[in-house]
Structures are given as C-alpha cells and as structure tokens.
Amino acid sequence: MVLTRRSTGLWAIGALSLVMAASACGSSADGSPGSVGASSGGGTSLSVVASTNVYGDVVEQIAGDKVEVTSIISDPDADPHSYEANSRTQLQLSKADVVIENGGGYDDFVDTMLKAANNSKVTVLNVVDISGKKAPAGGELNEHVWYDFPTMEKFVAELVTTLSAKDPAGASAFQAGGAAFTEKLKHLEGTEASIKAAHTGAGAAITEPVPLYLLEACGLVNKTPAEFSEAIEEGTDVSASVLSETLDLFSRRKVSLLAYNEQTSGPETEKVKDAAAAAKISVVPVTETLPAGKDYVSWMSGNLTAIQTALG
C-alpha cells in the first residue's frame, strides 16, 4: 500500500490506539527501547525528538553532547510519507523536552502522537510556522522548507533560544553552535547567489516540489506542469496528456536539468528520467531525508555542486 502525505496523517490516527497500548510497557531501566534523556556520562541532558534526521542532525551540530537527539525517520531509503507509528516513538515523545516537526502537513503524525503523549513540559518547534511562509493564492504551500536556507536560519535562531531556556547553563555553548551553523548557511547562500548570477532563467524540471526552494534561489525556473509534480507527490495517476507535456521538456530541450526525488519513484518518474538521459540532460538526484554519511551542510553543499555541474 502506498501512503501519500495526506493519507499518512489519517493512517497514524487509526494506528494510535495500538501504539498507546504498547507504549505503556515500552520503557525499561537498561537502555532498551523507550530509555531517553540519559547522557553517556551518566547525567541527564535535554531530550530532543525530531520528525526527520534532517532536523535531528541540525540539533546535533549545534548542541553536541548537551542533548539526546532522536530522529523518528532516519532511514535514507525510507519514504517519509509512509511513516508507520510505533510504541517507542510514542514513549520518546512523552518524555521529550523539545519536539521539532516540519509542519505544513508534512509530518502530521507528530501532532497526532503528541496529543496522546500527555507531555506538559514539551516545547514544539514547527519549522513551517517559524518560516512565516504561506500558501500562494489558489495554490498549496511547498512544505519542504529545509531546502530553504533563510528558513533554516530562522529555525536555528529559534532552536538556540529554546535550548537556552531549557538549559541556561548551556546557553553560551548553544549560542556558539548556532552562530557557527548560521555562518555555514550563509556560505551555502553565497553559492546559490553565484549560480544565480551565471544561470538566471535557466529551465529546470522536477519530479516533486522537494528541491524547489533551492532551485529558485539558484535562479532556475521550474518548467514542470504542476499537474505532474502534484500527482507524483500525492501518489495519484498522471494523465497521458500531462505526461506527454512533461516529456516534451526534454525532447525539446526546454530545461537544463532534472531534479529527481530518489525516495519516490514509479513508472512515470522513470519515463521522465529516461527522457532526460536520452536528451543528454543532467539528472540531479535529491532526497527528503539525510543521506547516509552526510550532515546537513555537506548534503546541501553536494546538492549545489550537482546543480553547478549540471548547468555547466
């Protein structure tokens, strides 16, 4: 069964009764599933639960060993839209000091599980809310805000403030970590500006809206029919006419690259990928969660390098 972004939240609600029944007996004193918040030195640290390893990694980069971070979705091969709730996650949310969710409908399962967690101490950071982004008139919000570096700067600032309030003794370390991470984000923005200066107006195709903020910051113009990327994102059928229009982007060389979400593929996306290869148009692979062996900055730096290479 394929679960789309919207259906995942509904699925989580249906599964929640099973999760709660299991979570009551999920903890132990020996560090087995459910044991959170303990530091390697035997003391305590802040417990942070992030919906994906993208945000979990950012927390680790900023706070280091002053926090215990759990990323609910961390498998680089997993489709975040098809997340299945479990008792361990429920327990971790019930004990968390800080929970980080993307928001915008991307990870509604977090809100669903938090409602049942009975955790009065938790502070929830919703990154879409922090971004201030709104859906365009008559359209839908692109919720993949971790591909937008100004949004990540806002998130880092809010994270540092929250961690400092939870652990005043660690505030100076959090502030230093946040400043260092923000400087890295500024460097990434500088790379975007360089690409934009050289390639403003170049056409790009996508399979899903995942990397759109990054592409747009690089000055690229999305030429993909909205009906195509929306259908792929929602897991619905692509009409023959829309597919034909999308394939024409490559045969008529209207685009300079294809940004291809490796975590969601099917017959239509494979046809698009094959069309790009046949036209000798570069394919830039993108993912929704952090690839193995990468941190956030090296991941995004690699994405920008791939775009630069594709554009020549």
SS3 at position 287? coil
The band of 24, judged by pLDDT with boundaries at 50, 70 and 90, is very low
CATH number at residue 94: 3.40.50.1980
What is the per-residue pLDDT for 79? 65
Residue 122 lies in a domain: yes
User: Are residues 307 and 193 part of one domain?
Assistant: yes
Check pLDDT > 50 for residue 165.
yes
pLDDT of 33: 32
Average pLDDT, the chain: 87
CA distance 166 to 176: 16
Which class for 116: exposed (0-12), middle (13-18), buried (19 or more C-beta within 10 A)?
middle
Q: What is the strand order of the sheet 203-206 is part of?
A: 221-222, 203-206, 257-261, 282-286
Are residues 202 and 121 located together in one domain of the fold? no
Last residue of a domain, one of 114, 141, 168: 141
Helix (H, G, I), strand (E, B) or coil at 79: coil
Q: Is residue 154 part of a domain?
A: no
Of 121, 141, 161, the last residue of a domain is: 141
119 and 202 housed in the same domain: no
Which residue is listed with tokens 């918040």?
Answer: 37
Helix and strand element counts for the chain (H, E)? 12, 8
SS (H, E, C) 264-279: CCCHHHHHHHHHHHHC
Asked whether residue 107 falls in the same domain as residue 202, the answer is no
Give the pLDDT confidence of 57-104 residue by residue, as tens digits: 999 999 999 999 999 998 877 666 667 778 889 999 999 999 999 999
Is the model more confident about 54 or about 86? 54
Structural domain span for residue 15: 5-24+38-129+136-141
Structure tokens at 202: 């170049």
pLDDT at 10: 37
What pTM does this model have?
0.86
Q: Are residues 20 and 115 in the same domain?
A: yes
Are 295 and 216 members of one domain? yes
| Residues 208 and 300 both lie in one domain | yes
Q: Clarify whether residues 120 and 16 are in a common domain.
A: yes
pLDDT digits (tens, 9 = 90+) for 100-150: 999 999 999 999 999 999 999 999 999 999 999 999 888 889 999 999 999
Tell whether 213 is covered by a domain.
yes
| pLDDT, tens only, 264-303 | 889 999 999 999 999 999 999 999 999 999 999 999 999 9
Of 84, 112, 141, the residue that ends a domain is: 141
Residue 300 lies in a domain: yes
AA identity, residue 256: S
Contact indicator for 89, 117 with CB cutoff of 8 Å: no
Q: Interior CA angle at 212 toward 71 and 269, to 5°? A: 85
Q: Is residue 99 part of a domain?
A: yes
Question: Which has the higher per-residue pLDDT, 185 or 31?
Answer: 185
Q: Which one has a higher pLDDT value, 26 or 253?
A: 253
Q: Is there a domain that residue 169 lies in? A: no
What's the domain count of the chain? 2
Crossing angle, helix 171-199 and helix 149-166, to 10 degrees? 180
* 120 and 194 both lie in a single domain: no
Q: Tell me what pLDDT residue 81 has.
A: 65
pLDDT for the residue numbered 15: 43
Tokens read off for 19: 């999760």
* pLDDT 10s digits, 213-262: 999 999 999 999 999 999 998 889 999 999 999 999 999 999 999 999 99
Same structural domain for residues 123 and 235? no
Q: Going by DSSP bridges, is the β-strand pair 98-101/123-126 parallel, antiparallel, or unpaired?
A: parallel
Residue 183 within any structural domain of the chain: no
209 has pLDDT over 50: yes
Q: Would you say residue 21 has pLDDT above 60?
A: no
Same domain, 20 and 97: yes
φ, ψ for residue 69, nearest 5 deg: -105, 130
The reply to whether 155 falls in a domain is no
Considering only residues 235 and 18, tell me which one the structure prediction assigns the higher pLDDT.
Answer: 235
